[in-house]
């Protein structure tokens, strides 16, 4: 359903992705991990057609994004939802207007009652019932992300993409967002792709983990297999953030482990 | 070497601006414009800019009259101030001042708003929600400016003439009837129509340049500041140059 085959892209002289090949299974959640600047967000932008690969093939829901026309691209995007890093809400609109925005732009436009019902339903599923008339500028970081998520799911997409869902949030709000993603995953049963550098969050929400380093995929495997990886980048990432016991269970590192 | 780089940079900017304008035109002619947003923009551009525009036009009128009076008086031609105001004010100054004000007030707003949207990924969000950002952000602004700027220009011409008349008659003691007669020799209704036509061209230039600068803003507060600055400077320079070309085509024969 989502595949990248030998994808490379560079900005000027900076090679961001080199020969990346990956397939994200349908109906499952894949988290793409990596340090800042590893090229994670570029993958997401390739998947929604905001960037075009210099070489290789990017295919989403059967559409080859390299050769798709503008119309085909917009048709595909109507089947996707995306939560942006800073939610990318429109400050001049209320919460309800933001969430309703994708529906308002549909042709034919659903009637006002249906839009209001679906906004209420989407806000309820992200735990913000009754927030319709609030101004976006009055919301906290976590609430903005929830509104962004409500906007992403209102069109009932087939694929949901998350760009750093935990960035800029405190640990408790971060955990709440992870829990929300898990709930969504169960309720919607669709394909999720999560870009993150938060390994703990990724372990909570993902079925598959994909580690990106210097524009290349160094590990891509189901969680348990990923945890056994001997690749130094993967080990470095895991050892800083989590501890794995003899039975393969995951726990936070102890203070001694953190302080070395 | 630096000069060469600057020339190449200028040509590549013109090329990018051409691509931007082409994309906008493609969307504009293919899709029905967003009417509600166009009307909102028209209100923002028209009604909210009117007080400042009228104030400036009025004081341009007062100064033109005063300067014309003092220039013509030694030759005994102070009666012809009305003609001077008609020629300089109606034909040239009022349209270009209206354009400069719109560039300063509305163009900067457009550039900074779109630049901030670019930085906050709101433009990307529009694309991902299958909404063409050119259609959503540029089309209503251009249409609103085309709708509103001719009216603003004509109103500012009238504002300027009223102020000019008051100074000529009540401050400088000229004959009102004579002032109007000479004014009509300097500028006719056709000149008003040319002024309105010029303002449509200026409006399109200001909107396209401002939106282009916003869309191509670099990240960070400095990027937004730079986009806003480029928008107003480029719009003003291009409008003044185009003004000369139009005046040459209309009055240069």
Q: Which residues of A touch B125 (CB under 8 A)?
A: 82, 84, 88
pLDDT per residue rounded down to tens, chain A (260 residues): 899 999 999 998 889 999 999 999 999 999 999 888 788 889 999 999 999 999 999 999 999 998 999 889 999 999 999 999 888 999 889 999 999 999 998 888 889 999 999 999 999 888 888 899 999 999 988 899 999 999 999 999 999 999 988 887 888 888 888 888 888 888 888 899 999 888 888 888 899 999 998 889 999 999 888 888 888 888 887 776 666 666 666 666 666 665 65
What is the 8-class DSSP label of residue B42?
A: H
Under 8 Å between Cβ of B207 and B138: yes
Nearest chain B residue to A50 by CA distance is B124
What DSSP line would sit under chain A, residue for residue?
-EEEEEEEEEETTEEEEEEEEEEE-TTSEEEEEE-TTSSHHHHHHHHTTSS--SEEEEEETTEETTT--HHHHHHHHTTEEEE-TTTT--TTSBHHHHHHHHHHTSSSPPPHHHHHHHHHHHHHHTT-TT-TTSBGGGS-HHHHHHHHHHHHHTT--SEEEEE-TTTT--HHHHHHHHHHHHHHHHHH--EEEEEES-HHHHHHH-SEEEEEETTEEEEEEEHHHHHT---HHHHHHHHHH-EE-TTS-EEPPPHHHHH-
Q: Which residues of B touch A86 (CB under 8 A)?
A: 120-121
Q: CB A101 to CB B124 under 8 A?
A: no
In the Cβ-directed half-sphere of A126, how many Cα atoms lie within 13 Å? 27
Whether chain A has a CB inside 8 Å of the CB on B36: the answer is no
Q: Which residues of B touch A78 (CB under 8 A)?
A: 130
Whether chain A has a CB inside 8 Å of the CB on B44: the answer is no
Partner residue facing B130 (CB), from A74, A84, A151? A74
Interface test with A, best of B23, B117, B129 (most A CBs within 10 A): B129
Helix (H) or strand (E) holding A70: helix A70-77
A115: Cβ contacts below 8 Å, ≥ 6 apart: A100, A103, A104, A109
Partner residue facing A90 (CB), from B122, B127, B132? B122
Polymer length in residues for chain A: 260
B209-224 residue pLDDT tens: 999 999 999 988 899 9
CA distance B101 to A152: 40
Reference B227, options B213, B240, B215, B238; nearest CA is B213
Q: What predicted TM-score, i.e. pTM, was given to this entire model? A: 0.85
State the ipTM, two decimals: 0.88
């Amino acid at each position: 359903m989502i595949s990248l085959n030998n994808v490379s892209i560079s900005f000027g002289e900076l090679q961001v992705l080199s020969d990346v090949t990956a397939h994200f299974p349908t109906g499952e959640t894949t988290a793409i991990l990596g340090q800042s600047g590893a090229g994670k967000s570029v993958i997401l932008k390739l998947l929604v057609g905001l960037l075009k690969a210099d070489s290789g093939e990017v295919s989403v829901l059967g559409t080859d994004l390299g050769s798709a026309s503008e119309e085909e691209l917009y048709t595909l995007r109507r089947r996707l939802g995306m939560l942006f890093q800073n939610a990318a809400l429109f400050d001049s609109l209320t919460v309800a207007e933001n969430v309703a925005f994708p529906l308002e732009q549909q042709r034919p436009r659903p009637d006002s009652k249906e839009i209001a019902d679906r906004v209420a339903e989407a806000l309820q599923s992200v735990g913000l019932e009754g927030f319709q008339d609030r101004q976006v500028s009055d919301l906290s970081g976590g609430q903005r992300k929830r509104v962004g998520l409500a906007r992403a799911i209102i069109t009932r997409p087939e694929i949901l993409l998350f760009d750093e869902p935990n960035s800029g949030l405190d640990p408790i709000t971060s955990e709440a967002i992870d829990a929300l993603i898990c709930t969504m995953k169960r309720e919607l049963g669709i394909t999720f792709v999560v870009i993150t550098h938060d390994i703990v969050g990724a372990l909570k929400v993902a079925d598959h983990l994909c580690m990106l380093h210097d524009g290349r995929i160094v590990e891509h495997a189901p969680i348990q297999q990923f945890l056994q990886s001997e690749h130094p980048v993967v080990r470095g990432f895991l050892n800083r953030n989590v501890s794995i016991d003899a039975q393969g269970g995951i726990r936070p590192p102890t203070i001694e482990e953190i302080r070395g | 070497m630096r000069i060469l780089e600057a020339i190449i940079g200028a040509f590549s900017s013109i090329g990018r601006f051409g691509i931007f304008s082409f994309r906008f035109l493609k969307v504009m002619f293919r899709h029905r414009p967003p009417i509600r947003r166009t009307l909102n923009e028209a209100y923002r551009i028209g009604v909210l800019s009117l007080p400042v525009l009228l104030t400036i036009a009025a004081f341009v009128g007062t100064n033109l009259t005063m300067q014309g009076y003092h220039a013509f008086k030694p030759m005994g031609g102070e009666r012809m101030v009305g003609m001077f105001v008609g020629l300089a004010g109606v034909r040239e100054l009022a349209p270009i001042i209206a354009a400069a004000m719109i560039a300063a007030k509305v163009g900067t707003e457009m550039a900074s708003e779109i630049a901030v949207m670019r930085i906050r990924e709101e433009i990307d969000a529009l694309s991902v929600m299958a909404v063409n950002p050119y259609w959503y952000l540029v089309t209503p602004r251009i249409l609103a400016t085309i709708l509103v700027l001719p009216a603003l220009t004509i109103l500012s011409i009238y504002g300027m003439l009223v102020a000019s008349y008051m100074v000529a008659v009540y401050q400088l003691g000229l004959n009102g009837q004579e002032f109007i007669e000479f004014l009509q020799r300097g500028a006719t209704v056709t000149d008003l129509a040319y002024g309105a036509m010029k303002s449509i061209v200026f409006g399109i230039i200001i909107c396209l340049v401002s939106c282009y600068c916003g869309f191509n803003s670099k990240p960070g507060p400095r990027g937004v500041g730079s986009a806003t600055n480029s928008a107003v400077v480029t719009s003003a320079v291009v409008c003044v140059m185009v003004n000369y070309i139009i005046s040459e085509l209309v009055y240069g024969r």
